[in-house]
């Protein structure tokens, strides 16, 4: 039988650890996180700045306000809930549009919904919170 020195035993243990597959170390499912361009993200709009912002069209006609942002639990899409049709908060109707359809307004203080009209938005189905 061969007698191994302490340094040889340590080297063999390190080699064994290095060759063990990562799945042997995993304690449950591994999380996959995508690397993003944080500079591009940081130049975007914070939800706190979008909420309550005026919604206009190309003619700078105020159509309503952003009431809320919703992330769909099924497909992960983001929707903007808009309050439209009222006057000073009275008679408002909530509608939902795809967030991707909104663009920064020309003055940079709100958002613009291209091609939208007051009548067109009022004709959309009413959005109702389920919980």
Give residue 9's Cα distance to chain centre.
52
Would you state the structure tokens that stand for residue 79, as one six-digit string?
Answer: 């929707």
The full set of domain ranges for the chain reads 45-122
What is the CATH number that goes with domain 45-122?
2.30.30.240
DSSP letter assigned to residue 87? B
Predicted TM-score (pTM) above 0.75: no
DSSP state at residue 3: P
User: pLDDT tens digits, the chain, 131 residues: what are they?
Assistant: 445 455 544 544 544 444 445 554 556 677 788 888 888 888 887 888 899 999 999 999 999 999 999 999 888 899 999 999 877 667 789 999 999 999 988 888 899 999 999 999 999 999 999 87
Which pairs with CB-CB distance under 8 Å and at least 24 residues apart come from 37-45? 45/104
């Amino acid at each position: 039988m061969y007698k191994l020195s302490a340094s040889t035993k340590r080297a063999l243990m390190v080699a064994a650890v290095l060759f063990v597959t990562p799945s042997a170390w995993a304690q449950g499912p591994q999380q996959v996180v995508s690397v993003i361009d944080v500079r591009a993200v940081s130049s975007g709009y914070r939800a706190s700045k979008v909420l309550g912002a005026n919604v206009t069209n190309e003619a700078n006609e105020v159509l309503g306000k952003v009431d809320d942002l919703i992330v769909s639990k099924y497909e992960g899409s983001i929707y903007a809930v808009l309050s439209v049709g009222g006057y000073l908060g009275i008679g408002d109707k909530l509608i939902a549009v795809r967030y991707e359809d909104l663009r920064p307004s020309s003055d940079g203080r709100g958002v613009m919904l291209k091609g939208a009209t007051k009548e067109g938005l009022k004709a959309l189905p009413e959005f109702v919170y389920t919980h």
